[in-house]
Amino acid sequence: MNKTQKGAWFSLAGALLFIILCIYLSVDMFIRQRLPNKNLVWVVAIFCVLVGGAGLIWTQRKQSPKEADSDERDKSIEKKAVLISFISVWVLLAAETLIPRFIVGLDGSIPVWMLAIINVAIFYVAMAVFYAAVLIQYGWRSRNGEN
């Protein structure tokens, strides 16, 4: 895998983890009506530092010292992925507008902090769409053309 693919895998995993965290917080605070565990902040912080650090080391390692960090094909793939991610943001914003209507009704209300969680989740979903689009264009795995 080249650096762009590694970065996409690592970032996709990170985005999905944060989406799961947003869902967990939403369920805990909105449905179960309780504050999340105080230790959760420390767990998330330590997890981010350890996994983030390991991930950064992994993504920076090259297949060979002279390998190009990124080339024209990588840029072309990222350009298309940005467009796909941009389109997904519009879909997510439409969903953000419509779904609460069906859950709490037109006259219902949601807490202000819930809006922050939803917007952060939309950001991470858009990022996940971007990195997934990058990986799909690469073909999920780099085939060894030597075989």
Partner 1 sequence: MAKIEFTNNIRRLRFDNNQMSQQDLAEKAACTRQTIIAIEQGKYNPSLALAFKIARAFGKSIEEVFPYNEDSTE
What does the alpha-carbon distance between residue 26 and residue 37 come to, in Å, rounded to a whole number? 13
DSSP state of 110: -
Instruction: Show the tokens assigned to 103.
Output: 């859950």
Check if the beta carbon of residue 112 is closer than 8 Å to that of residue 56.
no
Choose between 107 and 146: whose C-beta lies nearer to partner 1. Answer: 146
List residues binding partner 1 (CB under 8 A): 1-2, 4-5, 63-64, 66-68, 70-74, 138, 142-146
Instruction: Show the tokens assigned to 19.
Output: 């989406």
Query: What is the sign of the dihedral through the CA atoms of 136, 142, 146 and 147?
Result: negative
Choose between 8 and 117: whose C-beta lies nearer to partner 1. Answer: 8
- Read out DSSP for 88-101? HHHHHHHHHHHHHH
Choose between 72 and 107: whose C-beta lies nearer to partner 1. Answer: 72
User: What's the closest the beta carbon of residue 1 comes to partner 1, in angstroms?
Assistant: 8
Choose between 60 and 142: whose C-beta lies nearer to partner 1. Answer: 142
User: What's the closest the beta carbon of residue 60 comes to partner 1, in angstroms?
Assistant: 15
Instruction: Show the tokens assigned to 64.
Output: 């060979």
User: What's the closest the beta carbon of residue 72 comes to partner 1, in angstroms?
Assistant: 5
CA angle 72, 78, 84 (to 5 degrees): 145
User: What's the closest the beta carbon of residue 59 comes to partner 1, in angstroms?
Assistant: 14
Choose between 105 and 145: whose C-beta lies nearer to partner 1. Answer: 145
User: What's the closest the beta carbon of residue 89 comes to partner 1, in angstroms?
Assistant: 28
